[in-house]
Amino acid sequence: MRAAILATLLMLPLPVLAQETREIGHVNTAITNLGLTRSHRVVVERFDDPEVRNVSCWISQARTGGLSGMLGVAEDPARFALNCAATGAVEIQPGARRGDRGEVVFESNTSLFFKETRVHRFIDEERNTVVYLAWSTRLIDGSPYNAVAVVPAR
């Protein structure tokens, strides 16, 4: 029964976010299997917020190497950093979700089964800022790992 449920879940389409990511670069942090497979690395990616014009964010994440990393079945560690910056006059679009739940603007799978790094956007209207929170999901407990970046909307 569990196998049937798991097979059904794996066939469901994953949600697609409006952002486009671009890998900026990476560094190898450990060589695995004498260089025969991909090394452990830290990867830096950039994404733009689709509902806040002229804001770009950069996220660095640990990626597991080795054979399991090459095959996409490794669980990447929940370690990341986040920085966001204004690249011009910041314009918050009317469609940007407000409220204490924020809105997901980035997600990246970090394991084959139900673990992702997500970035939520929050609008702090009192301080006229846009706040980005990166965090790691897990199927059961979630994760305390997080990072925050703030961009003034002036």
- DSSP annotation of 104 reads E
| pLDDT at site 27 | 80
- Identify the three-state secondary structure at position 68: helix
- DSSP run (H or E) holding 30: strand 21-30
Tell me the whole-structure pTM to 2 decimals: 0.71
> 55 and 88 in contact (C-beta within 8 Å)?
no
Nearest to 121, CA basis, from 109, 110, 108, 134: 134
> 111 and 63 in contact (C-beta within 8 Å)?
no
> And the tokens for 74?
């490794």
| pLDDT at site 21 | 83
- DSSP run (H or E) holding 117: strand 116-124
Q: What is the pLDDT of residues 70-107, one digit of tens each?
A: 555 556 566 789 999 999 999 999 989 888 889 999 88
